Chains A and B, each alone.
Chain A
Amino acid sequence: MPVGTIAISRRRALLGAGGLLMAAMVPLERSRAATRIVEDQTGPFAPNAFVRVAPDGSITLILPNVEMGQGIYTGEAMLIAEELDVGLDQIQIEAAPPDDAYITKALGTEATGGSTSTIATWTSLREAGAVARTLLVRAAANRWMVDAASCQTEAGMVRHGPSGRTLSYGELAIEAAALPVPAGPVALRDPSTFRLIGHAQHRLDGPAKVAGTATFGIDIRQPDMKVGTVAACPVMGGVLLHVDDSAARKIPGVRDVLTIGNAVCVVGDHFWAARKGLEALAITWDEGVNSTVSTETVYRGLHEALQGPAIVAHTKGDAKGAIAGAATRVEAVYQQPLLAHAPMEPINCTVHVTPERCDIWVGTQVPMRARDAAAEITGLPKDKVFLHNQYIGGGFGRRLEHEYVTQAVQFARQVAYPLKIVWSREEDLALDRYRPAYVDHLVGGLDAHGKLVGLSHRIVGPAVVARWAPEALLPNGVDDDLLAATVETPYAIPARFLDYARREAPGVVTAWWRGVGGTRGVFVIESFIDELAASAKVDPVEFRRRMTGDHSRARAVLDLAAEKAEWGSKLPEGVGRGVALQYVFGSYLATVMEVEVSQMGTVRVRRAVVAVDCGRVVNPDQVVSQIEGGLIFGLSAALFNEVTLEKGRVQEKNFNTYRVLRMNESPAIEVHLIDSTEDPGGIGETGTAAAAAAAANAMAAATGRRYRRLPLTGAQA
């Protein structure tokens, strides 16, 4: 997530060339990590935390970020393999355990999120591969008593050019392990010689996922394991008063009924017994102070804060003066709802606590936090807590939270057997941690030529970072995730004023959600830019083009998307075309969407054309894949989704009431990549960030009215 440090470092990167990668580099801490891994294994070559070569020839790459669909295992393996000089078919990969060596500095912990992975590992993982290759070459040169410079590597072998002798990495592992790790920087390949990077590679996780053999957290089986399912108090902050489990215990297959402060877990031989048992419980909650919260309460609080005090988050020039003197004043208020993550794999966690150790099998975006929480609950030292990270069946930010691991450990410590806890979909939706609702108020001034002279903007909403990483809240109290897409835009705006009124959402915990500040901000800014263009009576693409100033990369994606989408060509009645331009996660995107709005108000997204400049691309087809999927994810939310509260309870229960875009509702999507040698930007969340604005602008073009409230359609619209 672009919490504090990353957002700052991104801005720094914009200001000073190259600053970004230095700021985001993962420290290797070679000696410490190497020691630990050597202890675990019997003498393989492990020059750093990411590469292991065993004498039997097996090459293992330990990947610092977790795979949740974004293709990061493949991308990161490519980075190491490129420099190590091995084929992707010669390696095996492992998820990193919790360890300081795998901390993503930008996120302050070992974490996968905020589209930071490739940005953060672009240099460090190539270095890890290069260090390993350098040592293997030295080992070979020593054995042959030749100059290392006369040796080359290829596909896991070192070859002595003049004599033609070869040794495999495995044959060199023990000798290489005895060599000192180079103290200074090692040379990295010239990008023009890349064999893997920039060339589409098949996903390494593809075969297992297609065969159904990939193990997700929910698939874990341990000897003597039992399965539990949970009901937590449906009102946030409520506690358990009493549970009558007499009926539940009579259900065949039910083994235990466990309680913690705010939840009950029924344990059975299988999920079905546990679920039936849970349904048979008579639970009395003390619902606490949130039992009167409704969706109304949430929105009312946000709208009220449009008046009154706020923290100044950003100023440039005299925006208010410019607006006061402008020929035309444009004003709009936008509202965005609470959103659930609803990954396909419901929340689950398997835990086995013994007096000596605690094992956790779970898919998590924050393994270190999860481990530390388990250590605290069990009283075990951290090095006796073993977290085995699994494939994640959809993260989208949900698994940046680890409260479900905490809950599972609290239950599992009460029993001797390994306990797998699986939440029902209903529990998953009702006890999610939600993307906050926000209200934004914008005022813009246009001069007589229709040029934007000043922009004033107030954001009202929670500061997610204040809970998730309090140290990253800016000293003035601003969550700088909110600056994404609002301050960092692809535009030259002469005068700006942004202030922030923090209002925490009553009755729910708010959290990161795919695209974070980008998803939030692009909808607001790009909707408003469209309104400005309409007021200036300038074509929306042309209006944006004129505003791009020094952002030539922004102009390039805008022009490419417009061209590929045949911007300006005639469309059938009821169909509109909308555009959104963005610079978030270090990548530029322009999205043109075609949306049909029927006379009955039925909305159908027909086509999306996206042009992308995300700097140097590691695995091009996976960039395309992320944009396609990110757009669909964003469209589900933009069109349909709103988490609602009544008496403090979330009303959305399952996919019947939390609607998801389906195949026959999905648009045709074309993604066009711009060749670039700029440093890589993030990509996993960019498509999601683009969706709502492009769709809303297209609907506006189709109907002539503006859409300032999400979701755009759905029962409430």
Chain B
Amino acid sequence: MMRLGRRAAGMAVLAGMVLTCVAARAQDADLARRGAYLEQAADCEVCHTKPGGIPFAGGRAFDLPGIGTIYAPNITPDHETGIGRYTDAQFDAAVRRGVAPGWRHLYPVMPYASYARMTEGDVRAIRAYLMTLRPVHAPAPANQVRFPYNIRLAMIGWNLLYRPSGPLADDPGRSAAWNRGRYLVDAAGHCGECHSPRNMLQALSVTKSYAGAPIDGWLAYNISSDVDSGIGAWSDPQLAAYLSTGHADGRGTAVGPMAEVVSHSLRYLTREDIAAMVTYLRSLPARRSDETVGVVSPETLAQAGPNHSNGGRLFAGACAGCHLTDGYGRQVDFAALWGARSLGEIDGRNLVRTMVEGVTLQSAHGAMIMPAFGPEYRNQDLADIANYAIGHFGNRVGHVTAKDVAATRASVPPS
């Protein structure tokens, strides 16, 4: 945006070149502004930025089990290493068809199968926005992909099978909000890329859409409308609050990749767009899955006396400073644990991962941070804390072992 401002000022000096040009620039600025919002909805930044790196300059590694490691490319307007030389058509082909200039087929870790349902105009707007960024020279490391996945042309077949041909037409039988919600959830927001299981060819399952799936060692939860294992029991305000802030009372707080999605994308969406997403999510068919959550009310939690287990004691020392034992967050609602999905998982997958690596969730009141406890606490200690928390807050018998914790530690990419 800064760059646009400067460019506009420069234009004003060259007054002779006048009105048509200025009008065109203003149009560009509008397009870029619209693109900035759409970029947030599509959340390009989070994948195209490596941890601690320059935004959009790429380099983030994606480990695909059995396939290899793929690095997100630089999408700043750098001519050599970024998208500086892409035309609108080339950019569109990459985003919506998974084909980069030179007929290089992208891997579907780039969610082009979802973006394929975006409109051409929206993708053009995103490019207009990206072109306003400061160009950064940052070549992406070479992908390390095993045979046969290293044959990019194989993607042609995949695309024929799984890539939608274009944007879905609005369903006239549904409300405008529903249609907008579908666009944001299915297309731009590409929610299914994490929340839907994949088939053997890494395509999103249609029959189990939004029924939850493992991703990068995390579990992306079931967000279908199933009452027990999905979001069927959530109220509209809870859903809206969770999407727009990462927290809903009685539903816990987003951690892991979902915290990133909220931090970089969802929290910037307008209230209307969030409401539209809620409308659409409500309409998703119910899909049953294994995870369910037992919501224990703060009133019940407050009645529980001190816990003498190792986990209970450690929780009182290291965790209760923010979380308390009655389920309410001590300082901020973000630390309120009651009703959190992660406490209903008896193998504590997301819970242990969260303890090991911590969370950063951006909010309107600054970064909400849970520090990482992995380096200092024994595997058994973290397992004990997890089992205590699952029992206390989730009303389940936790089955977390020291071995599980060790495995989780091993799955955390080095920072």
Smallest CB gap from A664: residue in B:
B313
A315 within 8 Å of B by Cβ? Answer: no
Among A600, A663, A665, A713, residue most surrounded by chain B Cβ atoms (within 10 Å): A600
Contact indicator B317/A640 (Cβ below 8 Å): no
Residue A714, interface by CB 8 Å: yes
Closest Cβ neighbor of A713 among chain B residues: B378
| CB <8 Å contact, B380 and A714 | no
- Which chain B residue lies CB-closest to A600? B380
Q: Is B310's CB under 8 angstroms from A714's CB?
A: no
Segment at the interface with B among A531-539, A653-661, A700-708: A653-661
A35 adjacent to chain B (CB < 8 Å): no
Q: Say whether A180 faces chain B, with CB atoms less than 8 Å apart.
A: no
Residue A651 at the chain B interface, CB threshold 8 Å = yes
Given A602-B381, A640-B376, A714-B378, residue A662 in contact with residue B371 (CB < 8 A): no
- Give residues of chain A (609-663) contacting chain B, Cβ–Cβ below 8 Å: 640, 651-654, 656-659, 662-663
Cβ contacts under 8 Å, B376 to chain A = 640, 652, 656-659, 714-715
Kindly report which residue of chain B lies nearest to residue A641, judged by CB atoms: B376
Chain B hits for A654, CB < 8 A:
371
Q: Is B377 an interface residue (CB 8 A)?
A: yes
Identify the closest chain B residue to A661 (Cβ).
Answer: B317
7 contacts between A and B (CB under 8 A): A598-B310, A652-B375, A656-B373, A657-B372, A659-B376, A715-B374, A715-B375
Q: Does B168 contact A (CB under 8 A)?
A: no
Question: Which residues 280-311 in B have Cβ within 8 Å of A in the complex?
Answer: 310
Choose among B316, B371, B378, B381 the residue that contacts A656 (Cβ–Cβ < 8 A). Answer: B371
Which of B317, B318, B371, B384 has the most chain A CB atoms inside 10 A of its CB?
A: B317
Judging by beta carbons under 8 Å apart, are A602 and B375 in contact?
no
Binding site for A on B (CB under 8 A): 310, 313, 316-318, 358, 371-381, 384, 402
Q: Is the CB of A601 within 8 A of B377?
A: no
Total A residues in contact with B, Cβ cutoff 8 Å:
21
Closest 5 CB pairs of A and B: A662-B317, A656-B371, A657-B376, A602-B310, A657-B375
**Pair A601/B317 contact, Cβ less than 8 Å:** no
Complex formed: what's the CA distance from A659 to B318 in Å? Answer: 9
CA distance A713 to B376 in the complex (A): 10
| Contact (A715, B317) CB under 8 Å given A656-B371, A657-B372 | no
CA distance A678 to B374 in the complex (A): 50
Of the residues A651, A652, A662, A715, contact of B378 by C-beta under 8 Å: A715
Other CB < 8 Å A-B pairs besides A656-B376, A659-B377, A715-B375, 16 of them? A598-B310, A600-B402, A601-B378, A601-B380, A602-B310, A640-B376, A657-B371, A657-B372, A657-B373, A662-B317, A663-B317, A665-B317, A714-B377, A715-B376, A715-B377, A715-B379
Q: Given contacts A602-B384, A662-B317, A664-B317, is CB(A717)–CB(B378) below 8 Å?
A: yes
For A600, the chain B residues whose CB sits under 8 A away are 310, 380, 384, 402
State A283–B202 Cα separation when bound (angstroms).
Answer: 41
Task: Give every chain B residue within 8 A of A652 (Cβ-Cβ).
Answer: 375-376
Interface centre among A652, A656, A658, A665 (most CB of B within 10 A): A656
Give residues of chain A (586-611) contacting chain B, Cβ–Cβ below 8 Å.
Answer: 598, 600-602
B375 touches A651 (CB 8 A): yes
In the bound assembly, the distance between CA atoms of A651 and B374 in angstroms comes to 12
Closest to B373 in A: A656
* A598 vs chain B, min Cβ distance (A): 7
**B372–A602 CB distance below 8 A:** no
Pair B313/A665 contact, Cβ less than 8 Å: yes
Task: Return the chain B residue nearest A602 by Cβ.
Answer: B310
Which of B317, B371, B380 lies in contact with A602, CB distance below 8 A? B380
* Contacting pair A656 B310 (CB below 8 A): no
- CB-nearest residue of chain B relative to A644? B375
A378 CB, min distance to chain B CBs, angstroms: 38
| Residues from chain B with Cβ under 8 Å of A657 in the complex | 371-373, 375-376
- Chain B residues lying within 8 Å of A715, measured Cβ to Cβ, are 374-379
- Asked if A664 and B316 sit within 8 Å, CB to CB, the answer is yes
Q: In whole Å, how far is B241's beta carbon from the nearest beta carbon of chain A?
A: 27
Name the CB-closest residue of A to B377.
Answer: A715
Chain A residues within 8 Å of B381, by CB: 602
From residue A155, how far is it (CB to closest CB) to chain B in Å? 47
